[in-house]
Amino acid sequence: MSNARAADRIGQVLGGRYRLLAPIGTGASATVYLADDVVLRRRVAVKVLHDALASDASFLKRFQAEARSAAALNHPHIMAVHDWGQGEVPYLVTELLDGGSLRAMLDAGNLLDLSQARNVGVDTARALDYAHRRGFVHRDIKPANLLFDDEGTLRIADFGLARALAEAAWTEPAGAVLGTARYASPEQAQGIVLDGRSDVYSLGLVIIESVTGHLPFTADTTLGTLMARVDRNVPVPDVLGPLVPALRAAGVPNPADRPDAAEFATMLMAAGDIGPAAPLHLAGTVALQPDQLDPREPTTIYMPEQIVLGEATTTVPSGPTFADPTIANELFTAAQPVTRTINRPESAAVATAARSGEGPRRRVPAKGMAAIIALLLVVGGAAAFFLLRTPSHTLADYTSMSASVARGELESKGFKVVDNGTYSESVAIDTVIAQDPVAGTSLAEGKTVTLTVSLGPPPVPVPTDLPGKTIDQASAALTAASLKLGVVTDAFDETVAKGIVLSLADGVTAQMPKGSAIGLVVSAGPKPRTIPDIAGKPFAEVAPQLDALGLKVTRVDEYSDTVAENIVISSSPAAGQTAAKGSSVTVTVSKGKKPVTIPASIVGKSIADASAQLTALGLTVSGVAGNPTKTVTGSTPAVGTQVKAGSAVTLVTSP
């Protein structure tokens, strides 16, 4: 929306109900105005979406569905959606949060300490868990969408709007996506289906930036920013101390390895004692000047500076100049009664009468005028009392009640609710321990009720001496520490025996909530060895190869008509199978062909018959010792001797 167009809307009434007073924020998709709800006489924020969206039929349909769904979200840390409309342009009406945004706070140089950052992270994660369980993924968690009321209570803004805008056909200003990309998860960069763990990744980045002032993985280009984090863990600076394990878990690139929002909140709460949180340095909300109405960060709608809403002057300080200063002051003070005396010179009254075509009017006698004024004051005062007074309610006793139920009842009566978590050994988690003000107090709507809510038993130290123990020993140590054994994961180890604890599982911190299941990584022993293909190789080469794998070799020799002597015939286990380290592998080695026994049956045969018999056995006849016409009487080597196949035999005959 142009600067002129934004200024032109000042004084416009949307839906016959919401009078726009002054712009307080701008972004790539919308301008946000301070507005007066003329029906309920209260201040609200109205997000007026840009003109280009009004012609996008698919967006309007999605916007309507998302607005209705977002309005159904009822959580103390999610911005309340009061109303929506689709007149000249689509608009959304939300509660007005005077504390400004986390973005404004950081831009003003007010970084968070560890306690403040943990509180912001826990409140945001609990609200995200509430929304995720109802099918909402925010898609745009960043400092600009984390807002605060004037008492410092956090709200998440823009639930549902990010998905509606993502499906719109309009074109954002060049580079507008960069603001969101700075906090996008790796799966957003890859364009795959998102679940709630995408919001957890973005929240982790926000927490890191809120403490250090620097955002990890920020490149000069949108593509560079997105791709820098696809395959890399988020680097978490050591300055984040006890929060480091939780933030590392949130910053892994694979969403399947990340905690969900509820688990992330628990991990932050289990980060140990980091002291009480100091009050936040709220930035407030300011009416913007025309030259501030260009998008500074996409979908950013709340800007820094101290809130300046209404003075008894003709212009708004540091804000726009109104065409009718009187109207401006009326709009800014509409939420509270104002007594004002207007002294008009006689000449002005005459001029007014002349312009209206009337002659001088007869003056009302002074006593009559006084009576009229008195009557008007009485009637006006009574009307103001009944119209402007804030209803009150008597507080019930919310102790021992579920915090979510108590919160819902209080908010339905118009109260603000602040949760103060505290550990308790005796009160179940998420149960109200105490309330302030106490039961029976009469309290006006809009006031704050503080609930002290049980966080369950306090965290307990996780034993540090579990590595080196057996599973049974580790389980006993965990039980003694008021914890229990969780998932056991096996991992191969060359030096640690099977069944011995190697380490704690990822995500286990130095302190965990009492009763937590602690995962362990346990040795599965050395990794099994795969038997190589050794058939056809000389045994002299095979033995060292198997020995290098940590395997023992058992040699078995056997004759073979096809495999040469000292060549490996086979192995058991066979090639491709596995064997435990230190186990034995049987290697069968060839002894060559089986030896032949010179048969005694050649004696008494003719040279021709004896030669034929020996040849059939694989032997050769090298000659005849004696008369070749005589019968065979023996042989060299002698009859009955074993010789190698192919050996030469000399036949012997009688003289």
Positive or negative: CA dihedral 585, 591, 592, 593: negative
DSSP 593: S
Pick the more confident residue, 43 or 457: 43
SS3 591: coil
pLDDT tens-digit map of 121-132? 999 999 999 999
Average pLDDT over residues 79-108: 89
Give the pLDDT of residue 331.
34
**CB-based burial of residue 266 (10 Å sphere; 0-12 exposed, 13-18 middle, 19+ buried)?**
buried
Q: In angstroms, how far apart are the furthest CA atoms of the chain?
A: 181
Residue 119 has pLDDT above 90, yes or no: yes
Range 392-399 average pLDDT: 90
Q: What percent of the chain has pLDDT over 90?
A: 50
Sign of CA dihedral 62, 64, 67, 68: negative
Among 303, 335, 301, smallest CA distance to 319 is for 303
Q: What is the pLDDT of residues 6-40, one digit of tens each?
A: 677 888 999 889 999 999 887 767 888 999 999 99
pLDDT digits over 360-370, tens only? 444 445 555 55
Omega before residue 459 within 30° of 0, cis:
no
Least confident of 21-30, 449-458, 536-545: 21-30
pLDDT on residue 458: 83
Q: Is 424 helix (H, G, I), strand (E, B) or coil?
A: coil
Residue 306 has pLDDT above 60, yes or no: no
Cα(401)–Cα(404) distance, rounded to whole angstroms? 8
Q: Which residues of 555-585 are buried (b: 16+ CB within 10 A; e: fewer)?
A: eeeeebeebeeebbbbbebeeeeebeeeeeb
Torsion angle, CA of 112/292/79/267, rounded to 10 degrees? -30
Do 275 and 140 contact (CB within 8 A), yes or no?
Answer: no
Say which residue the tokens 């001029």 belong to: 351
Q: pLDDT value at position 208?
A: 97
Distance from the first to the final alpha carbon of the chain: 131
d(CA 196, CA 201): 9
What does pLDDT average to over the chain?
Answer: 81
| Cβ contact 120:146 at 8 Å | yes
Q: Check pLDDT > 60 for residue 605.
A: yes
- The pLDDT value recorded for residue 328 is 34
Query: Domains in the chain, ordered, with CATH?
Result: 3-292 (1.10.510.10), 392-454 (3.30.10.20), 459-523 (3.30.10.20), 529-590 (3.30.10.20), 596-653 (3.30.10.20)
Q: Which helix H or strand E contains 381, and what residues bound it?
A: helix 366-388
Which member of 83, 98, 140, 199 is catalytic?
Answer: 140
Q: How confident is the model at residue 374 (pLDDT cuts 50, 70, 90)?
A: low
Among 55-59, 214-218, 280-284, 632-636, where is mean pLDDT lowest? 55-59
Q: Is 140 one of the annotated active-site residues of the chain?
A: yes
Would the pTM of this model clear 0.75, i.e. be above it?
A: no
Distance CA 277, CA 53 (A): 42
- Residue 227 and residue 167 in contact, taking contact as beta carbons nearer than 8 Å: no
Is residue 208 within 8 Å of residue 216, measured between CB atoms? yes
C-alpha 338/C-alpha 131 separation (Å) is 42
Q: How far apart are CA 452 and CA 432, in angstroms?
A: 6
pLDDT at 169: 45
Give the mean pLDDT of 216-239: 79
Separation in Å, CA 630 to CA 86, 578, 627, 638, 649: 128, 64, 6, 18, 17
Take residue 272 and report the two structure tokens written for it. Answer: 């140990």
- Decide if pLDDT at 189 tops 80: no
The pLDDT confidence band at residue 201, using thresholds 50, 70 and 90, is very high
- H-helix segments, 549-628: 607-616
Q: Is 213 left (phi over 0), alpha (psi -120 to 50) or beta?
A: left
Q: Is 345 helix (H, G, I), strand (E, B) or coil?
A: coil
Asked if 272 contacts 242 with a C-beta cutoff of 8 angstroms, the reply is yes
Please report, to the nearest 10 degrees, the dihedral formed by the alpha carbons of residues 216, 217, 218, 223 taken in order.
-160
Q: 3-state DSSP call for residue 628?
A: coil
544 in helix, strand or coil?
Answer: helix
Amino acid type, 479: T
